[in-house]
Amino acid sequence: MQQKWDERYKEPEFAFGKAPNLFFKEWLPKFTPGKILMPADGEGRNGVFAARLGWEVTSFDYSIEGQSKALQLAKENQVRLEYIVGDFDDLHFEKETFDAIGLIYAHFSADKKSLFHRKLNEYLKPGGVIILEAFSSRHLYFNNLDPKVGGPKEIDMLYSEAEIKADFDNYEMLQLAEEEIQLNEGKYHIGKGAVIRFVGRKIR
């Protein structure tokens, strides 16, 4: 998996563009800047956007090529990112460190997904927020129609509303919906897809 993303991020152009995800761009400005964790931040488009809004950003991904592009983008925007390269299993933070977590197309293997969500929950302060956009299980239909829209082809790596409710049952649901959207993010997210959009505030 690491090799796949290193090869993709080695390309001179930004795989998913330099602009932030539209859902993340809509929701993050609603909250007071603090510390934000950006798992699977890739080439840094969302982490850099958060930094431009005044957030203290910790990004991570397992691609060193992604890190290189993210730091380049941060320099272009005159902001700072802390960007850690590693596997999620090996990364540890103090409990209740972050005020927000951005999960934008952070797809994990089926056997790790809920475990990672619980781990992230520990890192978030009470009152903190999670902003999540990811492909839903219905996205396989669109992926089969047009592979350019991107996304995992394994059904267990995709999301459902029921799964979000189960994994984040200690959250106030500010928004939770499955939507069909038109993606236009770089060269690897183009076309119609089905996504889960979730914003939650940690209650306890």
Digit-coded pLDDT (tens) for 7-48: 888 887 898 999 999 999 999 999 999 999 999 999 999 999
User: How much is the pTM?
Assistant: 0.95
The type of residue at 109 is: S
In the chain, % of residues over pLDDT 90: 75
Residues 5, 63 contacting (CB under 8 angstroms): yes
The answer for residues whose C-beta is within 8 angstroms of residue 62's C-beta and 6 or more apart is 1, 2, 5, 85, 86, 87, 88
Return the number of other C-beta atoms located less than 10 Å from residue 68's C-beta. Answer: 17
Phi-psi region of 125 (alpha: psi -120 to 50; beta: other; left: phi over 0): beta
Token pair 């302060």: residue: 125
SS3 178: strand
CA dist 45 and 186 (Å) reads: 11
pLDDT at res. 202: 98
Is 3's pLDDT higher than 80?
Answer: no
The answer for residues whose C-beta is within 8 angstroms of residue 148's C-beta and 6 or more apart is 187, 188, 190, 191
Confidence band, pLDDT 50/70/90 cuts, at residue 129 = very high
Phi-psi region of 27 (alpha: psi -120 to 50; beta: other; left: phi over 0): alpha
The DSSP bridge pattern shows strands 82-85 and 35-39 to be unpaired
Give the mean pLDDT of 161-177: 96
Rg (alpha carbons) of the chain, rounded to whole number: 16
Confidence band, pLDDT 50/70/90 cuts, at residue 2 = low
Mean pLDDT across the chain: 93
Confidence band, pLDDT 50/70/90 cuts, at residue 135 = very high
pLDDT at res. 203: 96
Confidence band, pLDDT 50/70/90 cuts, at residue 185 = very high
Give the mean pLDDT of 148-174: 93
Selecting from 1.20.58.220, 3.40.50.150, 3.40.390.10, 3.30.420.40, what CATH number does the domain 2-202 have? 3.40.50.150
pLDDT digits (tens, 9 = 90+) for 67-126: 999 999 999 999 999 999 998 888 889 999 999 999 999 998 888 899 999 999 999 999
pLDDT at res. 90: 80
